[in-house]
Amino acid sequence: MIRALALLLMLTLALPARAQEAVAVFTAPGVDTDAAAGTAPGVSLIVRSTTDIAILAPALTGFVTRHPQITIRYEQWGSNALYADSLRACEGDGPGADVVISSGVHQMVDLVNRACAQPYRSPLTDALPDTRKWRNEIWGITQEAAVTIYNSALVPAEDVPQSRFALLDLMRRSPLRYRGKIATYDIQASGLGFLFAFMDSQAATTFGGLLEGFSRVNAVATCCSAEIIQGVAEGRYLMAYNVLGSYVASAPQANIGIIHPTDYTLFLSRALVIPRGAANAQGAALFLDYLLSPEGRRALTEANLIQQPDREDTSLPESARRFISIDPTTLVAMDRHRQLNFIAKWRGTFGQIAP
């Protein structure tokens, strides 16, 4: 059985959300950081995001260099906590951010649907494809693949699963070898993990078999990309499923192999919204336009947040690339009844073991 807390969704939402996991202040070169903490409203920009500070730092630095009058206070959050915080701020319960960025795209679309965001248009936002914007209130700023990773020093070449069908076959063929050695996201601790799993359940005929296979090998569910990637590098896990490829690429390990499943590979675009109550909406708009500009896109590409897999390297045809649209279709993942049923199915398949 999978090693994860399997709490009911209602109980999960009733618990107080954690505050930010880390905070950093970004100022233009030559601006004193301590002094910047006391800058007047209107020149400070509060950004709350699920993206690791170290990964987004080059883009943040590029922005404040181009706009030295603005100081960024960057807060790193978990996706579920960020959604809860943004919802509370929308309802007037506590201070909100000027910019919110999350990999939990379904949660962000829900905020827009609840009238918690404000609109903005520019030539740069207009240039985005329809799948990466909605109502001029939410925009996709990255392109990141959900990949399978494995320890290349410990997993023999004949065991490397290039598709979900091959992964299913591997778990059926070698359950003892991979017992407790395959990891994936805990769908209740990670909004991103829930989204990936839910999209799989909608798109893949293999989803039921994957649940059965994960149960057979006593797969491990955990909250965070960094823990999963490090676990595979160290050999605690031999393989991990549906890991965000940008984080793997940002911290390359010599013994980690990356698979873009050939049956289909999900691609996520982190969603950005400008909250309805943003104190510095003008600065937020400048930040959005920067991220969508050629300079901002270069910074995001260098941080591996915009990925264009080379077919020669991945054997991934264009037809196998499935993009998670930023539109109302993702709201089905926010439906309470569906969420409870989905989590019950997850629990019913894997059971429950306290960590």
The CATH number linked to 74 is 3.40.190.10
Domain that holds residue 30: 9-143+269-302
> Whose CA is closest to 245, among 264, 265, 227?
265
Dump pLDDT digits (tens) for 77-132.
Answer: 999 999 999 999 999 998 999 999 999 999 999 999 999 999 999 999 999 999 99
What confidence category does residue 178 fall into, taking pLDDT thresholds of 50, 70 and 90? very high
Looking at the domain assignment, is residue 2 inside a domain?
no
**Number of other residues whose CB lies within 10 A of the CB of residue 83:** 24
CB-CB contact of 258 with 149 (8 Å): yes
pLDDT, average across residues 318-332:
92
**Which residue did the predictor score with more confidence, 343 or 194?**
194
Question: Phi, psi at residue 168, to the nearest 5°?
Answer: -60, -45
Helix (H, G, I), strand (E, B) or coil at 279: coil
CB-CB contact of 45 with 73 (8 Å): yes
Give the Cα separation of 13 and 71 in Å (integer): 33
**The total number of structural domains that make up the chain:** 2
> Whose CA is closest to 99, among 118, 113, 122, 114?
118
Residues 195, 69 within the same domain: no
CB-CB contact of 161 with 167 (8 Å): yes
Dump pLDDT digits (tens) for 64-83.
Answer: 999 999 999 999 999 999 99
Looking at the domain assignment, is residue 187 inside a domain?
yes
What confidence category does residue 345 fall into, taking pLDDT thresholds of 50, 70 and 90? confident
What confidence category does residue 348 fall into, taking pLDDT thresholds of 50, 70 and 90? low
Highest mean pLDDT among 36-50, 119-133, 329-343: 119-133
Dump pLDDT digits (tens) for 227-272.
Answer: 999 999 999 999 999 999 999 988 778 899 999 999 999 999 999 9
Residues 234, 294 within the same domain: no
Give the Cα separation of 186 and 174 in Å (integer): 23
